[in-house]
Amino acid sequence: MSEGHSIKKVVSPNREAARPDAGSAADRLDSWKEIATYLHRGTRTVQRWEREEGLPIHRLQHERLGSVYAFKSELDAWWASRGLASSGETGQTGLGPSIAVLPFTDLSRERDQEYFCEGVAEEIINALKRLQDLRVASRASAFRFKDRAADVREIGRKLRVKTLLGGSVRKAGDRLRISVQLANAGDGYQLWSETYDRRMTDIFAIQEEIARQVVKALEVTLSPTEKDALGKPSTKDIQAYDYYLRGRSFYYRYAPRDVEYAKQLFAQAIEKDPRYGLAYAGLADCWSYLYLYAGRRESERVQAGRASIQAVELDPESAQAQASRALALSLNERDEEAKAAFETAIRLDPNLFEAHYFYARHCFVHGEQERAVELYEEAMRVRPEDFQAPLLVAQSYDDLGRPEDAITARQKGIELVEQHLRLNPDDARACYMAANGMVALGQKERGREWAERALAMRPDDPMLLYNVGCIFSMLGCVEE
């Protein structure tokens, strides 16, 4: 029998063989590389999905040679069955119920309530994310469209959601007017709208009512537990809530001075409501950030541990609290406990960027490169505009002998840094992370310029000095 003449069709476990006419030539992907590119994942991740999660891969098995292929339509259906949008999809067709909550517009006279507007939207996001049958775009992904004059259909296409919730807030004294609109992202038509004229003390009831109206409009079925969760505010103290929202607003700027402000605001929230679990989680995140990026002082690591314990004790079902605890455990080198807390956070909220991202860093430090890659790739899925994950996963790709993936990741990360700096021109960390990527790609002169740019922003920052020193060492400038 000559080679290649005896061909049999083999399919993945528990999958039926595809019919010969299952897909056209345009629908077919003819290698692991093409499949991985279509799904925006690494080859090994896609191969693991076939082994463990039934990704529909087909094989032509020759006597000495095997080849794989897949159909885009089958991959899309597989992703939809997991409650996700496929990476190759350009519209909303085939998705289950899905929504993005955009940051609300500040219509207050002084225009000084941006933090409050964003906080209201974020609280609605957090409430809706608790629902198993509803896919919710992450805060970071949705908030990219703040202040952008983009068409509803374009936003829906880019976020791969079927519906968009937007609105505005007018705050005057203790009076609130919140207007909300739920729109179909496919055609731009309004599905539901409402205006709430209430007192500030009614803010928690308003947020609950908005979430319930969204659920009703999208015909999402709630379990008894989910019904209870929608009506459970994280605090009942209005002043504590206001401090918490201000703190989050500062923390998301990711600069040492802003994180210090955030730390003070979270502490004030806790003073007003000592049982405010999310405020403790925010405080723990601040201490962890300052330890990681502003000096590595032992006192900061200890404080992160204490605050994170309080967060989990007060709100054990909060993914944010679990992720904060996991990071603090990781910083204290309590490996197995950190992994368990990260896994819990991801189970509670599969779209929590911080859980995937810091878990990936934890695995990288412990030499678990395959797992680190998987987690970094999940972080990139959750927050595709983030520059950190692609720049850091590149090192893991290098260590695993995947230089082409490393090059692609660094190029993507640098591109994202450039976009990020248009809105955050004083982010020194973004500059030196991009500089590292540039030098690794052989763009030495450009990398040096960006490292010096970061150094000029924060010349006395110990962590920045260390990282810029590493870049100069890569350049061969040891004396500098």
For residue range 265-290, list pLDDT tens digits in order: 999 999 999 999 999 999 999 999 99
* pLDDT, mean of residues 303-307: 97
Q: What is the pTM of this model?
A: 0.73
In single-letter form, the type of residue at position 315 comes to D
pLDDT for 61 = 52
pLDDT digits (tens, 9 = 90+) for 161-183: 999 999 999 988 889 999 999 99
The answer to whether 107 touches 168, Cβ cutoff 8 Å, is yes
Which whole-number Å values give the CA distances from 59 to 25, 33, 37, 65, in the listed order? 16, 14, 18, 11
Comparing 140 with 404, which gets the higher pLDDT? 404
Contact 308, 324 (CB under 8 A): yes
Q: Which amino acid is at 206?
A: I
pLDDT for 22-71, tens place per residue?
445 677 888 887 787 777 666 777 787 787 677 888 876 544 345 788 88
The answer to whether the CB of 47 falls within 8 A of the CB of 400 is: no
Q: Which residues contact 84 (CB under 8 A, 6 or more apart)?
A: 135
CA distances 412 to 374, 440, 443, Å, are: 17, 13, 15
